[in-house]
């Protein structure tokens, strides 16, 4: 009966690259939303380590971050019994379907990808083939599991549109092979900006303005005390993204971790100014991340448990992915193995 209920659920898939330590934006913008959808969807969440190597990595750091990311997923509330959690490189079908889809993705489509342009500008010494073709691998990540929905932020919409173009092209040639995935935009997702440059998204590339999930409480507190507010003489806590981006970003974060509305926040800090507001936001973030950091730290020490989770996840993911890959191989004319 339980399997039938699970089968009836819509399928959701997403992943994060372990290219840097997970930060507050990853948690509030993605992971926390995944947890909230545990019962609603049949979920596949992975560590996208194959995508990570389009930029040179220190191998030991990549291994550490991959396992730490899995621990944070679980510590955040992603129950491995209810969500399929796996490491991308452990499911060989991703690479295999990625190659096939490379052959059904046009050069012009790939050359228009804004992330390729951005990363090429930042890594001029290593503009490799993977950096150019990784959207085809991303399409494979998605299509292997025939998902109904793919959660996306603004920066990933272009990739989902390309994936949909590939589905249309492939299905147009071979029939109904892939389900057309729909982008899933959360109703209320917190868009967390950099604490030092509130016009930029929070990112590990701007570490002074980035709050990491596993960061020490005292370091988080210091970053919030130094957070950019605004140079206006008013110095009041008011939500106004156009004119007060720094304060508005802090209000977005405070609202996300406390559940309070902007009106409630304005009332709470009326007449108190930024000196009281910034430490309060920092303390609220520290207390939100504390149980996650503590549980993730415990899990990281339990290597046998984490190995059991990612092995079971890869086994489940491979079983589902292989069904799609076999169908694709048959359609394109490969001899069955």
Q: Catalytic amino acids?
A: 119, 201, 204
Kindly report the length of the chain: 337
* Listed residue (64, 51, 61, 41) closest to 98, CA to CA: 51
- Phi and psi, residue 123, nearest 5°: -130, 60
State the DSSP code for 156.
G
The answer to whether 211 and 202 are in contact (CB under 8 A) is: yes
Q: Which two tokens stand for residue 31?
A: 């992971």
The answer to whether 134 and 140 are in contact (CB under 8 A) is: no
Count other Cβ atoms within 10 Å, centred on residue 294.
11
* Listed residue (154, 160, 198) closest to 29, CA to CA: 154
The answer to whether 235 and 273 are in contact (CB under 8 A) is: yes
Q: Distance between CA atoms of 250 and 210, rounded to whole angstroms?
A: 13
**Half-sphere exposure (Cβ direction) of 150: Cα atoms closer than 13 Å:** 31
Q: Distance between CA atoms of 295 and 60, rounded to whole angstroms?
A: 22
Residue ranges of alpha helices (H) inside 82-238 are 93-102, 107-111, 114-122, 129-143, 157-174, 217-225
In the numeric block, the tokens 């930042």 are attached to 122
DSSP state letters, 251-310: HHHHHHHH---HHHHHHHTTTT-HHHHHHHHHHHHHHHHHHHHHHHHHHHH-HHHHHHHH
């Amino acid at each position: 009966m339980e399997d039938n209920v699970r089968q009836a659920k819509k399928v959701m898939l997403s992943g994060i690259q372990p290219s840097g330590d997970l930060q507050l934006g990853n948690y509030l913008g993605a992971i926390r939303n995944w947890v909230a959808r545990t019962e609603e969807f049949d979920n596949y969440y992975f560590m996208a380590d194959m995508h990570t190597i389009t930029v040179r990595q220190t191998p030991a750091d990549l291994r550490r971050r991959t396992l730490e990311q899995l621990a944070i997923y679980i510590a955040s509330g992603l129950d491995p019994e209810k969500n399929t959690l796996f490491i991308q490189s452990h499911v060989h079908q991703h690479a295999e379907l990625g190659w096939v889809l490379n052959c059904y993705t046009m050069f012009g489509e790939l050359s228009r990808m804004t992330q390729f342009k951005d990363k090429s500008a930042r890594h001029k010494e290593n503009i490799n083939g993977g950096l150019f073709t990784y959207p085809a691998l991303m399409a494979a990540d998605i299509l292997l599991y025939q998902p109904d929905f793919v959660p996306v932020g603004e920066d990933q919409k272009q990739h989902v549109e390309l994936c949909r173009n590939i589905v249309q092209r492939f299905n147009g040639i071979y029939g109904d092979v892939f389900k057309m995935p729909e982008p899933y935009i959360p109703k209320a997702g917190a868009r967390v900006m950099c604490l030092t440059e509130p016009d930029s998204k929070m990112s590990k590339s701007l570490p002074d303005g980035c709050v990491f999930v596993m960061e020490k409480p005292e370091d988080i507190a210091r970053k919030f005390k130094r957070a950019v507010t605004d140079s206006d003489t008013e110095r009041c806590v008011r939500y106004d993204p156009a004119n007060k981006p720094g304060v508005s970003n802090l209000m977005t974060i405070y609202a996300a971790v406390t559940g309070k509305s902007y009106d409630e926040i304005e009332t709470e800090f009326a007449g108190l100014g930024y000196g009281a507001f910034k430490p309060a936001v920092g303390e609220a973030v520290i207390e939100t991340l504390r149980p996650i950091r503590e549980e993730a730290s415990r899990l990281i020490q339990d290597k046998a448990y984490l190995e059991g989770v990612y092995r079971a996840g890869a086994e489940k993911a491979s079983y589902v992915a292989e069904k799609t890959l076999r169908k694709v191989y048959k359609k394109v004319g490969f001899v069955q193995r």
